Structure 1
Amino acid sequence: MRRISTRIGMLAAAALLAVAAAGPAQGRQAGGAHRAPADAAAYFVMTDVTRAEFVIKLTDPHKIRHARDLLSGASHSEPHVVGRIDKRPVPYNWRWSFHLRPETIDFFDFAVEVCDATTPYVEEHLDEAGGAFLPGLVWCPWTSKLVREVPQP
Protein backbone atom coordinates (compact mmCIF):
# COMPACT_ATOMS: atom_id res chain seq x y z
CA MET A 1 0.00 0.00 0.00
CA ARG A 2 2.86 2.38 0.85
CA ARG A 3 4.39 1.76 -2.56
CA ILE A 4 1.13 2.71 -4.28
CA SER A 5 0.82 5.88 -2.17
CA THR A 6 4.38 6.87 -3.06
CA ARG A 7 3.67 6.42 -6.76
CA ILE A 8 0.43 8.38 -6.50
CA GLY A 9 2.28 11.15 -4.65
CA MET A 10 5.01 11.26 -7.30
CA LEU A 11 2.41 11.45 -10.06
CA ALA A 12 0.54 14.19 -8.22
CA ALA A 13 3.76 16.21 -7.78
CA ALA A 14 4.55 15.83 -11.48
CA ALA A 15 1.02 16.93 -12.36
CA LEU A 16 1.30 19.94 -10.04
CA LEU A 17 4.52 21.05 -11.70
CA ALA A 18 3.07 20.45 -15.18
CA VAL A 19 0.06 22.61 -14.36
CA ALA A 20 2.26 25.29 -12.80
CA ALA A 21 4.58 25.33 -15.81
CA ALA A 22 1.84 25.14 -18.45
CA GLY A 23 -0.51 27.69 -16.92
CA PRO A 24 1.65 30.80 -17.39
CA ALA A 25 2.88 29.69 -20.82
CA GLN A 26 -0.68 29.36 -22.08
CA GLY A 27 -1.57 32.74 -20.61
CA ARG A 28 1.33 34.40 -22.41
CA GLN A 29 0.35 32.92 -25.74
CA ALA A 30 -3.30 33.85 -25.45
CA GLY A 31 -2.67 37.28 -23.93
CA GLY A 32 0.16 38.19 -26.27
CA ALA A 33 2.45 39.19 -23.38
CA HIS A 34 6.15 38.72 -23.84
CA ARG A 35 8.78 37.33 -21.50
CA ALA A 36 10.25 39.97 -19.24
CA PRO A 37 13.82 41.06 -19.98
CA ALA A 38 16.50 39.78 -17.59
CA ASP A 39 16.82 43.22 -15.98
CA ALA A 40 13.10 43.15 -15.11
CA ALA A 41 13.65 40.41 -12.55
CA ALA A 42 12.37 40.90 -9.02
CA TYR A 43 13.65 39.24 -5.87
CA PHE A 44 11.57 38.22 -2.89
CA VAL A 45 12.36 36.74 0.50
CA MET A 46 10.18 33.87 1.60
CA THR A 47 10.11 32.07 4.94
CA ASP A 48 8.53 28.93 6.27
CA VAL A 49 7.59 27.59 9.68
CA THR A 50 11.31 27.56 10.63
CA ARG A 51 11.60 31.30 9.86
CA ALA A 52 14.62 30.54 7.64
CA GLU A 53 14.84 33.12 4.86
CA PHE A 54 15.13 31.99 1.24
CA VAL A 55 15.37 34.35 -1.75
CA ILE A 56 13.52 33.65 -4.99
CA LYS A 57 13.95 35.37 -8.33
CA LEU A 58 10.87 36.04 -10.45
CA THR A 59 11.06 37.02 -14.11
CA ASP A 60 7.44 36.67 -15.23
CA PRO A 61 5.65 40.06 -14.93
CA HIS A 62 2.35 38.38 -13.88
CA LYS A 63 4.08 36.45 -11.09
CA ILE A 64 5.96 39.56 -9.98
CA ARG A 65 2.64 41.42 -9.79
CA HIS A 66 1.07 38.53 -7.82
CA ALA A 67 4.00 38.51 -5.37
CA ARG A 68 3.70 42.27 -4.85
CA ASP A 69 -0.06 41.93 -4.39
CA LEU A 70 0.52 39.30 -1.71
CA LEU A 71 2.96 41.57 0.12
CA SER A 72 0.66 44.59 -0.06
CA GLY A 73 -2.38 42.60 1.08
CA ALA A 74 -4.22 43.22 -2.21
CA SER A 75 -4.38 39.43 -2.69
CA HIS A 76 -4.58 36.49 -0.33
CA SER A 77 -4.98 33.74 -2.93
CA GLU A 78 -2.16 31.34 -3.75
CA PRO A 79 0.22 32.61 -1.05
CA HIS A 80 2.66 29.68 -1.08
CA VAL A 81 5.65 29.14 -3.38
CA VAL A 82 6.30 26.12 -5.59
CA GLY A 83 9.13 25.49 -8.02
CA ARG A 84 11.81 23.14 -9.24
CA ILE A 85 15.07 22.98 -7.31
CA ASP A 86 18.43 23.58 -8.97
CA LYS A 87 21.15 22.02 -6.82
CA ARG A 88 23.53 24.94 -7.26
CA PRO A 89 23.99 28.11 -5.23
CA VAL A 90 23.30 31.55 -6.72
CA PRO A 91 24.65 34.91 -5.53
CA TYR A 92 21.23 36.29 -4.59
CA ASN A 93 20.51 33.29 -2.34
CA TRP A 94 24.01 32.84 -0.95
CA ARG A 95 23.00 31.18 2.32
CA TRP A 96 21.76 28.01 0.63
CA SER A 97 23.45 25.55 -1.73
CA PHE A 98 20.33 25.37 -3.92
CA HIS A 99 17.77 27.70 -5.44
CA LEU A 100 14.47 27.59 -7.30
CA ARG A 101 14.72 27.92 -11.06
CA PRO A 102 12.92 31.21 -11.81
CA GLU A 103 11.05 29.90 -14.86
CA THR A 104 9.45 27.14 -12.74
CA ILE A 105 8.29 29.24 -9.80
CA ASP A 106 4.57 29.63 -9.23
CA PHE A 107 2.15 30.10 -6.34
CA PHE A 108 -0.44 27.77 -4.83
CA ASP A 109 -3.13 27.40 -2.19
CA PHE A 110 -2.91 23.62 -1.63
CA ALA A 111 -0.40 20.99 -2.78
CA VAL A 112 0.42 17.32 -2.37
CA GLU A 113 2.48 16.29 0.64
CA VAL A 114 5.27 14.70 -1.39
CA CYS A 115 6.73 18.12 -2.31
CA ASP A 116 6.49 19.70 1.17
CA ALA A 117 9.62 20.28 3.25
CA THR A 118 11.17 23.12 5.21
CA THR A 119 14.11 25.03 3.78
CA PRO A 120 16.66 23.70 6.30
CA TYR A 121 15.42 20.14 5.73
CA VAL A 122 15.91 20.49 1.97
CA GLU A 123 19.44 21.80 2.57
CA GLU A 124 20.27 18.89 4.90
CA HIS A 125 18.88 16.30 2.45
CA LEU A 126 19.73 17.97 -0.86
CA ASP A 127 21.63 14.91 -2.09
CA GLU A 128 18.38 12.90 -1.81
CA ALA A 129 16.20 15.48 -3.61
CA GLY A 130 14.85 14.32 -6.94
CA GLY A 131 14.31 10.72 -5.85
CA ALA A 132 11.73 9.59 -3.30
CA PHE A 133 12.40 12.90 -1.52
CA LEU A 134 10.96 15.76 -3.60
CA PRO A 135 10.37 13.73 -6.79
CA GLY A 136 11.25 15.64 -9.94
CA LEU A 137 12.98 18.23 -7.70
CA VAL A 138 9.58 19.88 -7.14
CA TRP A 139 9.51 21.77 -3.85
CA CYS A 140 6.32 23.25 -2.40
CA PRO A 141 6.81 24.25 1.23
CA TRP A 142 3.27 24.38 2.63
CA THR A 143 4.15 27.05 5.18
CA SER A 144 6.01 29.25 2.72
CA LYS A 145 5.07 32.89 2.51
CA LEU A 146 6.65 35.98 1.04
CA VAL A 147 7.83 38.50 3.61
CA ARG A 148 9.45 41.25 1.55
CA GLU A 149 10.87 42.27 -1.79
CA VAL A 150 14.61 42.93 -1.91
CA PRO A 151 16.66 45.00 -4.36
CA GLN A 152 18.31 43.31 -7.30
CA PRO A 153 21.79 42.16 -6.21
Structure 2
Amino acid sequence: MYKQILVLFFLVAAVAAETAYFAFKTYGSTDDFVIQLTDDKLIKHARDLVSGATTDEPHLHGRIRKQTASYNPKYSFQLDPATIGFFNMAIEVCDAYLPYVEEHLDEACGAFLPGCVYCPWTSQITREIK
Protein backbone atom coordinates (compact mmCIF):
# COMPACT_ATOMS: atom_id res chain seq x y z
CA MET A 1 0.00 0.00 0.00
CA TYR A 2 2.80 2.40 0.95
CA LYS A 3 4.56 1.80 -2.39
CA GLN A 4 1.35 2.51 -4.32
CA ILE A 5 0.86 5.82 -2.52
CA LEU A 6 4.48 6.76 -3.14
CA VAL A 7 4.21 5.92 -6.85
CA LEU A 8 0.97 7.91 -7.11
CA PHE A 9 2.63 10.90 -5.43
CA PHE A 10 5.52 10.89 -7.91
CA LEU A 11 3.16 10.56 -10.88
CA VAL A 12 1.12 13.56 -9.73
CA ALA A 13 4.29 15.57 -9.13
CA ALA A 14 5.59 14.73 -12.62
CA VAL A 15 2.32 15.78 -14.26
CA ALA A 16 2.11 19.09 -12.37
CA ALA A 17 2.98 22.03 -14.56
CA GLU A 18 6.19 23.92 -14.05
CA THR A 19 5.99 27.48 -12.77
CA ALA A 20 8.42 30.03 -14.18
CA TYR A 21 8.86 33.76 -13.77
CA PHE A 22 9.98 36.21 -16.43
CA ALA A 23 10.74 39.91 -16.42
CA PHE A 24 9.67 42.29 -19.14
CA LYS A 25 9.90 45.99 -19.83
CA THR A 26 8.13 48.45 -22.10
CA TYR A 27 9.27 51.74 -23.50
CA GLY A 28 9.80 54.15 -20.62
CA SER A 29 9.90 51.56 -17.85
CA THR A 30 12.87 51.42 -15.51
CA ASP A 31 11.68 48.58 -13.28
CA ASP A 32 11.13 45.05 -14.53
CA PHE A 33 7.56 43.80 -14.50
CA VAL A 34 7.50 40.14 -13.48
CA ILE A 35 4.99 37.63 -14.81
CA GLN A 36 4.23 34.09 -13.70
CA LEU A 37 3.82 31.40 -16.35
CA THR A 38 2.47 27.91 -15.67
CA ASP A 39 1.80 26.69 -19.21
CA ASP A 40 4.68 24.61 -20.56
CA LYS A 41 4.30 25.95 -24.13
CA LEU A 42 4.35 29.55 -22.93
CA ILE A 43 7.35 28.88 -20.69
CA LYS A 44 9.23 27.38 -23.63
CA HIS A 45 8.29 30.31 -25.85
CA ALA A 46 9.46 32.84 -23.24
CA ARG A 47 12.75 30.95 -22.82
CA ASP A 48 13.20 30.89 -26.59
CA LEU A 49 12.67 34.67 -26.68
CA VAL A 50 15.25 35.19 -23.94
CA SER A 51 17.81 32.94 -25.64
CA GLY A 52 17.18 34.40 -29.09
CA ALA A 53 16.00 31.04 -30.48
CA THR A 54 12.87 32.85 -31.77
CA THR A 55 11.74 36.37 -32.53
CA ASP A 56 8.17 35.34 -33.33
CA GLU A 57 5.42 36.73 -31.08
CA PRO A 58 7.80 38.81 -28.97
CA HIS A 59 5.16 40.83 -27.09
CA LEU A 60 2.87 39.66 -24.32
CA HIS A 61 -0.73 40.25 -23.35
CA GLY A 62 -2.99 39.36 -20.47
CA ARG A 63 -5.70 40.62 -18.15
CA ILE A 64 -4.80 43.02 -15.38
CA ARG A 65 -5.50 42.22 -11.75
CA LYS A 66 -5.43 45.36 -9.64
CA GLN A 67 -3.36 43.87 -6.84
CA THR A 68 0.32 43.44 -6.15
CA ALA A 69 1.82 40.00 -6.62
CA SER A 70 4.54 38.78 -4.26
CA TYR A 71 6.78 38.11 -7.28
CA ASN A 72 6.12 41.59 -8.76
CA PRO A 73 6.36 43.97 -5.77
CA LYS A 74 7.29 47.16 -7.64
CA TYR A 75 3.88 47.42 -9.33
CA SER A 76 0.35 47.80 -7.97
CA PHE A 77 -1.01 45.34 -10.52
CA GLN A 78 -0.19 42.00 -12.05
CA LEU A 79 -1.14 39.99 -15.11
CA ASP A 80 -3.40 37.02 -14.42
CA PRO A 81 -1.18 34.02 -15.24
CA ALA A 82 -4.14 32.12 -16.75
CA THR A 83 -4.63 34.87 -19.37
CA ILE A 84 -1.05 35.53 -20.49
CA GLY A 85 -0.09 34.91 -24.10
CA PHE A 86 2.25 36.26 -26.76
CA PHE A 87 1.55 38.20 -29.97
CA ASN A 88 3.05 39.91 -33.00
CA MET A 89 0.39 42.59 -33.48
CA ALA A 90 -2.64 43.74 -31.47
CA ILE A 91 -5.28 46.45 -31.47
CA GLU A 92 -4.36 49.85 -30.06
CA VAL A 93 -7.00 49.96 -27.34
CA CYS A 94 -5.03 47.57 -25.10
CA ASP A 95 -1.61 49.18 -25.61
CA ALA A 96 0.11 51.30 -22.94
CA TYR A 97 3.51 51.71 -21.33
CA LEU A 98 4.05 50.18 -17.89
CA PRO A 99 4.61 53.55 -16.14
CA TYR A 100 1.39 54.91 -17.65
CA VAL A 101 -0.65 51.92 -16.47
CA GLU A 102 0.81 52.23 -12.97
CA GLU A 103 0.03 55.96 -12.84
CA HIS A 104 -3.53 55.51 -14.21
CA LEU A 105 -4.44 52.16 -12.65
CA ASP A 106 -7.64 53.63 -11.18
CA GLU A 107 -8.85 54.25 -14.77
CA ALA A 108 -7.86 50.81 -16.09
CA CYS A 109 -10.56 48.27 -16.98
CA GLY A 110 -12.97 51.02 -18.08
CA ALA A 111 -12.46 53.26 -21.10
CA PHE A 112 -8.72 52.80 -20.52
CA LEU A 113 -7.74 49.17 -21.19
CA PRO A 114 -11.34 47.91 -21.54
CA GLY A 115 -12.01 44.50 -20.05
CA CYS A 116 -8.68 44.81 -18.19
CA VAL A 117 -6.92 43.55 -21.33
CA TYR A 118 -3.33 44.76 -21.54
CA CYS A 119 -1.17 44.25 -24.64
CA PRO A 120 1.87 46.55 -24.52
CA TRP A 121 3.24 46.78 -28.05
CA THR A 122 6.75 47.57 -26.82
CA SER A 123 6.83 44.75 -24.26
CA GLN A 124 9.95 42.65 -24.41
CA ILE A 125 10.88 39.70 -22.20
CA THR A 126 14.30 40.55 -20.78
CA ARG A 127 15.17 37.56 -18.61
CA GLU A 128 13.97 34.58 -16.66
CA ILE A 129 13.86 35.00 -12.89
CA LYS A 130 15.38 31.91 -11.25
What is the aligned partner in structure 1 of residue 105 from structure 2?
Answer: 126
SS at match of 1:92: coil
Matches within 5 A, 1:1-153: 37=16, 40-52=18-30, 53-151=32-130
SS at match of 1:91: coil
Identity %: 57
Shift in Å, 1:51: 3.4
Unaligned 5+ segments in structure 2 are: 1-14
SS at match of 1:148: strand
Shift >2 Å, 4+ stretches: none
Aligned length: 115
TM superposition score normalised by structure 2: 0.85
Amino acid at match of 2:91: V
- Decide which structure has the larger Cα Rg and report it: 2
Shift in Å, 1:37: 3.0
TM superposition score normalised by structure 1: 0.73
Structure 1 or 2: larger helix share? 1
- Distance in 1 (alpha carbons) for counterparts of 2:19 and 2:80: 13
- Distance in 1 (alpha carbons) for counterparts of 2:103 and 2:72: 16
SS at match of 2:71: helix
Structure 1 or 2: larger strand share? 2
- Distance in 1 (alpha carbons) for counterparts of 2:89 and 2:128: 23
Aligned-pair RMSD on alpha carbons? 1.1
For 1:52-93, what per-residue CA distance to the aligned partner results, in whole angstroms no more than 9, with x for missing partners?
310010000000000001111111100001000000001100
Unaligned 5+ segments in structure 1 are: 1-35
Shift in Å, 1:50: 1.1
